[in-house]
Structure 1
Amino acid sequence: MGPEASKTPIPIPERTRTQRAARGRALAIRFGPGPTAIAAAALVCLLIGLLYLALQIRTIFSDQLKQEYAGLVLEAVERTESARSLVGIWQQLPDATPARAAGYQHARTELAHRLASLAALVNASPSAAPRLPPASLIPDADLRDTDAVLTSVSTWWRAQRDADSADLRVRIARVAYTLIASAALLFCMLITALGMYAKRNRLLAGRSHEFEWAALHDAMTGLPNRRKLFASLEEAATKLPALTASSRIAVLYVDLDGFKQVNDSRGHRVGDEFLIAVSRRFRESVRKVDVVARIGGDEFAVLVREFSTNAELGEIARRLIACVVQTDKEMGVGRVRASVGIASFPEPVDDYHRLVAAADEAMYRVKRSGKNSYAFAERAS
């Protein structure tokens, strides 16, 4: 192999910035709130909301039962008031006959029975309702006291029923608002989690692409490396049968002559600048479909995906040599030239796996014969 230039690492400031950016992205992925955290938060909010709804629904049922109980008490009051009205009717009859006395006594008994039923219903109330006085429950109680008790009971229980009804409406509204808020919160959290999941996937895909690119390219020049070159060669050779019968591919192996003296005399920084500049010119001198790769310190290779004649390859080789001469003159580093070996498939090299090696052998023939030129691989190669 030809002399290799020492590989110079990426400058410290640039490398430091790259490392810091990579660490920052890694920390963002590792410690940032992810979809799992958002889902957990949504689940906690959902459980809290369900607990609150359960309490509200329980209270709604309780208020509804209270409202129904108040309705039962008011119905009992109405029946007792009807019995009281019947007593008044018998009391207002003018004739003092046995029938009137019997009817009046029966009405008083019925009133006492209704009062006892009302008292039992009121005293069994789950609410702290005012109790009926025992004196109003006896059959011969004063009717004025009975009227006052009935008025008091009716007023209190009507107010209780209205309060329970208003409280029921408020709690139903709270349940509705809670359901709306919970649905909106869950929807927002779901959208946020999906957005974060998609963002993380894009970030991971971007980092995966960066790693893949770094594995297939030279860090200093940005050109494809040896691995990428052989992958491109495999792809081009596989597609070759689908092209015309006269289609061929070729590899031009380029080695810089006198580059080691540049590193020894001017330093590796100047040598790296020279490699970067000549790499850019190499890339600009060939077609976009062709591949320019750096496969060693000062060694390059060009994969020509399709050509017709060897004259085309000779023209490409001359352009590559001119790129080196132009870079040398522009930078004034000394006398740096290039030796180029050319090998094509399927003629004269019938195995594309040996295409790079055949071009390398042809390049060494150029070096042995005076350098700064190009040569084609022989069939024996």
Structure 2
Amino acid sequence: MTTDASNKTSTRIPESLQSRRADRARVPTRFRPGPASVAVASLLCLLIGLLYLAMQLRTVFSDQLKQEYASLVLEAAARAQSAREQVGVWQQMPGSSPADAQGYRRARAELARRVASLAALVNASPATAPHIPPATLTPDASLADTDALLGNVAAYWHAQRDADSADVRMRITHVARMLIALAALLFCLLITALGMYAKRNLQLAGQSQEFEHASLHDSMTGLPNRRKLLVALEEAARMPTADATAHRIAVLYIDLDGFKQVNDSLGHRAGDEFLIAAATRFRESVRKTDLVARIGGDEFAVLVRAFATDAELADIARRLIACVVRTDEQMGIGLVRASIGIASFPDSVDDYRRLVAAADDAMYQVKRSGKNGYAFAAPAGRTAAV
């Protein structure tokens, strides 16, 4: 039987729990990166790394183009130098014949054409480079000026090509190091994300177990609740065994007599303390294989998974009553006692699913007979009171 006061007791949150919740609410929440934030950070790092690599590769391609352009200029300078050497060969000729004079003029024209091609390349360079003055491009330009021009152009563009080549090698080295660092970073981030994901799964698994435990247990006394009792009852009834005697199970339904007066006279705090103390003594008075559950309010039940005779059940009932008496005496109340109904399967009840209801009916018979005792549920609705 459940009274209104006892229902309020079962749903009332202890003040210690309320204070702990208030303390947790006052503590500032610290940011804890999860797998999603780590994944976003990894993606950002990857994008930044790829952007850096793209810029480096673009610079490498630009330097390679500069190298190729410098090679073209040096080839043009080499051809101009070859034309200059031909002019020198014709200068060493006697020059007395018209053919020698004509050959010299052709050599000078070829040199002017080669120098003009070289000047077109140098002056059209996309990079900053010394331009070739127009005065050196005429056919009658001084050979000394042409020699100086060719020497300066060759020296400058050789140095430019070497510098571009060194810059390409340096940037390729940077790209390789960046790839290694980026791969190492991504690997570390991946390992970190996997570790955090595994940790989060463990936390969720732990929370799931806590939720499952909370759904099967009473929050105040820590005892299994009605749902857990029914699950354990079904498991005990279906447990295969070769011994028919060991397969006998029983339920003792306990209701505290006079508990409502404790709540009314002493307050709910005293009622809570009484229920917790009685629940502790109930657990200590039964075997480890038996299950003590709080059905609700001031009602409890004990599942006996195996017994031989009804005398064993009667002894358990007397111990439970004594637990209530000792709790009452310890708290100095003098009001609370216990009425217990006992139902067994397959003796008095042929369907284990009716054990709790049969024990409850037997408990009501005790209350109608004067309370503070126990009674067995008899077959066909008969009740054996003790």
Instruction: Pick the TM interval, shorter chain.
Output: 0.7 to 0.9
2: CA distance, partners of 1:22 / 1:249: 47
Structure 1 position 32, deviation (Å): 5.4
- Tell me, yes or no, if structure 1 residue 240 matches structure 2 residue 239: yes
Q: What pairs with 1:49-198 in structure 2 (closer than 5 Å)?
A: 49-93=49-93, 96-98=96-98, 100-198=100-198
- Tell me, yes or no, if structure 1 residue 10 matches structure 2 residue 13: yes
1: CA distance, partners of 2:107 / 2:2: 131
1:9-55 residue CA offsets vs partner (Å, 9 max, x unmatched): 23334224236648979x77xx8544333333333333333233222
2: CA distance, partners of 1:109 / 1:181: 58
SS at match of 1:254: strand
Structure 1 position 279, deviation (Å): 0.3
2: CA distance, partners of 1:84 / 1:211: 95
AA partner of residue 185 (structure 2)? L
2: CA distance, partners of 1:85 / 1:299: 120
1: CA distance, partners of 2:13 / 2:34: 34
SS at match of 2:366: helix
Please tell me whether the aligned partners of residues 4 and 299 of structure 1 are also in contact (alpha carbons under 8 angstroms): no
Please tell me whether the aligned partners of residues 266 and 333 of structure 1 are also in contact (alpha carbons under 8 angstroms): no
1: CA distance, partners of 2:307 / 2:318: 16
Question: What residue is the counterpart of 1:227 in the other structure?
Answer: 227
1: CA distance, partners of 2:125 / 2:297: 98
2: CA distance, partners of 1:4 / 1:134: 113
Unaligned runs of 5+ in 2: 382-386
1:119-165 residue CA offsets vs partner (Å, 9 max, x unmatched): 22223322232222223223332110111100111122112112212
2: CA distance, partners of 1:175 / 1:297: 73
1: CA distance, partners of 2:24 / 2:206: 13
For this pair of structures, how many residues does the alignment match?
A: 377
AA partner of residue 314 (structure 1)? A
2: CA distance, partners of 1:109 / 1:308: 130
Question: What residue is the counterpart of 2:249 in the other structure?
Answer: 249
Task: From the superposition, tell whether residues 278 and 36 of structure 1 become closer, same or farther in structure 2 (CA, over 3 Å).
Answer: same
2: CA distance, partners of 1:265 / 1:236: 41
2: CA distance, partners of 1:269 / 1:48: 62
AA partner of residue 10 (structure 1)? I
1:181-201 residue CA offsets vs partner (Å, 9 max, x unmatched): 333333343334334433443
Task: From the superposition, tell whether residues 22 and 195 of structure 1 become closer, same or farther in structure 2 (CA, over 3 Å).
Answer: farther
1: CA distance, partners of 2:251 / 2:289: 13
Q: TM-score of the superposition, structure 2-length normalised?
A: 0.86
Question: What residue is the counterpart of 2:323 in the other structure?
Answer: 323
AA partner of residue 15 (structure 2)? I
Name which of structure 1's ranges 339-348 and 143-152 shifts more when overlaid on structure 2. Answer: 339-348
AA partner of residue 12 (structure 1)? E
AA partner of residue 166 (structure 1)? A
Identity of aligned residues (%): 70
2: CA distance, partners of 1:215 / 1:222: 11
Structure 1 position 350, deviation (Å): 0.5
Please tell me whether the aligned partners of residues 2 and 297 of structure 2 are also in contact (alpha carbons under 8 angstroms): no
Structure 1 position 102, deviation (Å): 4.4
Aligned residues: CA RMSD: 2.8
2: CA distance, partners of 1:179 / 1:131: 40
1:69-126 residue CA offsets vs partner (Å, 9 max, x unmatched): 1012112212222222232233234674555444433432332232222222223322
Question: What residue is the counterpart of 1:334 in the other structure?
Answer: 334
Question: What residue is the counterpart of 2:384 in the other structure?
Answer: none
AA partner of residue 135 (structure 1)? A
AA partner of residue 359 (structure 2)? A
Q: TM-score of the superposition, structure 1-length normalised?
A: 0.87
Task: From the superposition, tell whether residues 211 and 22 of structure 1 become closer, same or farther in structure 2 (CA, over 3 Å).
Answer: farther
SS at match of 2:48: helix
1: CA distance, partners of 2:301 / 2:16: 30
SS at match of 1:295: strand
Task: From the superposition, tell whether residues 3 and 102 of structure 1 become closer, same or farther in structure 2 (CA, over 3 Å).
Answer: closer
2: CA distance, partners of 1:161 / 1:171: 15
SS at match of 1:302: strand
SS at match of 1:360: helix
AA partner of residue 11 (structure 1)? P
1: CA distance, partners of 2:242 / 2:185: 59
